[in-house]
Amino acid sequence: MEEVWQSIPWKLILPLIVIQLLLMGIALIDIKRSHEVNGPKLVWVLIVLFISMLGPVLYFILGRRQS
């Protein structure tokens, strides 16, 4: 197991993970802060958490309500 862990090129993949988490984080904070979103908030949280990359994008385009 450790061998596999070592063989993964973390230096290269880390930015990918960080950006994913960043997108996810911004979307989640915005869901929490906004008064109302299009559709139930829980569904958006699940979409943002489980669809990588496209989840937050979908929320920003469809779920967000402009004030």
Where on the chain is the footprint of another protein (CB under 8 A)? 9, 12-13, 15-16, 19-20, 22-23, 26-27, 30, 53-54, 56-57, 60-61, 64, 66
Which sign does the torsion angle of CA 32, 37, 48, 61 carry? negative
| Residue 9 or 42 having the CB closest to another protein | 9
Which residues, 6+ apart, have CB-to-CB distance to 20 below 8 Å? 52, 53
Which residue has tokens 């989640």? Answer: 28
| Residue 43 or 57 having the CB closest to another protein | 57
For residue 63 the two structure tokens come to: 């779920």
Q: How far is the CB of 2 from another protein (least distance, A)?
A: 16
| Residue 23 or 47 having the CB closest to another protein | 23
